[in-house]
Structures are given as structure tokens and as C-alpha cells.
Amino acid sequence: MLKLTARQQQILDLIANAIENTGFPPTRAEIANELGFRSVNAAEEHLQALARKGAIEISPGTSRGIRLIKPALARGLSADDTGKQFTLPHPALMQLNLPLVGRVAAGSPILAQEHIQANYNVDPALFSAKPDYLLKVRGMSMRDAGILDGDLLAVKKSENARNGQIVVARLGDDVTVKRYKKTGSAIELLPENPDFETIVVNEDQDDFALEGLVVGLLRNWT
């Protein structure tokens, strides 16, 4: 049976909540800041301990390369319970076939056939929710959220979002990826790079629409 210390469970909860609320796991720096560690090394040591116990999987070389192996552990269930609740078929049977969307033409649906560059089979366990398509990132406006030019974002179609979530939004002739913040009827699309400015729109604005929520990221696929 998997046994976690109170601190390890706290970190696992933090990871699960970040994925649920934003679509991404936290960085080491965010974990350290949230839990009052003096350095990111302390966060890294706890993550490595969780990986050794089989609670998470760490992808080297990426700031947000953390995946929950047993998501129910972050909900206070025992390892035995997670084993029963998350009994899955063979991984080969679980692959999602997702279209890769390239540059989107103004006024046409984001999943229009002319926008589809390719299709990829991916493991659904990589994402916080089931995505509907992959979108190739252009530019560095979300650099500090770990989203870089050329990355592939997994996007779940949605017309609604909560504050703090990273969204795909259509604004006029452009499709953009930003962090969502709504106050009253005003919506701010926040970059994660100080070199870029916040975009402010009204929820009833004719040329604005939410296309979806970012639920994961893939890198070095092309």
C-alpha cells in the first residue's frame, strides 16, 4: 500500500488542484512559493520522493513536466482504492486521435477541414481533461507559463472558463492563447510575458469568442 507523508500529500493535492483549475501542473518555483520552501530544491526533493513512490511521473527538462499516475490519491483515497477505481484497458486501446490545427482563417470554424494539418494518436492520461484537438502555438506571449513557440496545446472545446484558466480565444481575425480573467462584463486576456500587453474585451463583443480550454501541452512533436 502506498503511504505518503503529510507534506507529500499536501504537494500532491497542490498538483491536482493546479491541473484541475488551469490545465497545467505547477512549476517547482510555484510549489516552493505556495508551501513556503526556501528554495526550489526542497520542492524537487519532495517531487522525486513522490515519483519513487509511484504517485507521479516526472518528465526531465520541462518546468511543468509532472503527471499524476494515481489521480485519486489527491482526493484522499488509499492506494488500494485507486487501483480499483482506475483499472484501465490496455494503453493501445486508449489512444485519442486528435487533429492538429494550424493557422486559422478568419471567420471559419477552428476545426474546419482546411485548418487540419495532421492527426496524432496520444495518451489521454497526459491531460487534465479529454481534449478535442491540438493547436500549434505561435509566438512567446505565454512563455512564463511554460508555453513556447511551436508547442502543441491540447484544447477542450468550451464556451465558458473560470478565472485563472488558460484559454483559446478568437478575437477578430486572430486566435490567441491567454490566461482568462473576468470582472463583471469585462474580460481580460492576460499574457504570461511582460513584453506583451493585456487584451481587454467585453463578453458581448461581436468579434470575441471563447474556443476552448487548454488542458495539456506536448513538446518536440514536429
Q: Where are the domains of the chain?
A: 6-85, 93-218
6-85 maps to which CATH number? 1.10.10.10
Give the Cα separation of 26 and 14 in Å (integer).
8
The residue with greater pLDDT, 206 or 188, is: 188
**Rounded mean pLDDT of 78-106?**
55
Average pLDDT, the chain: 81
pLDDT tens for 58-73 read: 876 666 778 887 554 4
**Rounded mean pLDDT of 136-145?**
89
Catalytic annotation present for 78: no
Residue 2: what pLDDT?
67
Q: Which residues contact 213 (CB under 8 A, 6 or more apart)?
A: 23, 129, 155, 156, 158, 161, 165, 166, 167, 168
3-state secondary structure of 140: coil
Distances (CA, A) of 75 to 14, 66, 81, 93, 207: 11, 17, 11, 27, 40
CA 193 to chain centre: 17
pLDDT tens for 150-166 read: 888 999 999 999 999 99
What DSSP assignment string belongs to 119-136?
Answer: EEEE-GGGSSS--SEEEE
Q: Under CATH, to which class is 93-218 assigned?
A: mainly beta
Q: Minimal CA–CA distance to 79: which of 12, 129, 162, 22?
A: 12
Catalytic annotation present for 141: yes
**Rounded mean pLDDT of 12-26?**
81
The residue with greater pLDDT, 205 or 2, is: 205
Which band of pLDDT confidence, cut at 50, 70 and 90, is reported for residue 107?
low
Residue 157: what pLDDT?
93
Q: Spot the catalytic one: 53, 70, 128, 141.
A: 141
Q: Minimal CA–CA distance to 212: which of 142, 132, 143?
A: 132
Instruction: Name the percent of the chain in helix, strand, coil, to the closest 5.
Output: 30, 30, 45
Q: Spot the catalytic one: 53, 70, 156, 178.
A: 178
Which band of pLDDT confidence, cut at 50, 70 and 90, is reported for residue 77?
very low
Give the Cα separation of 214 and 154 in Å (integer).
6
Q: What beta strand segments (E) does 80-128 contain?
A: 96-101, 116-122
Residue 186: what pLDDT?
94
195 pLDDT higher than 90 = yes
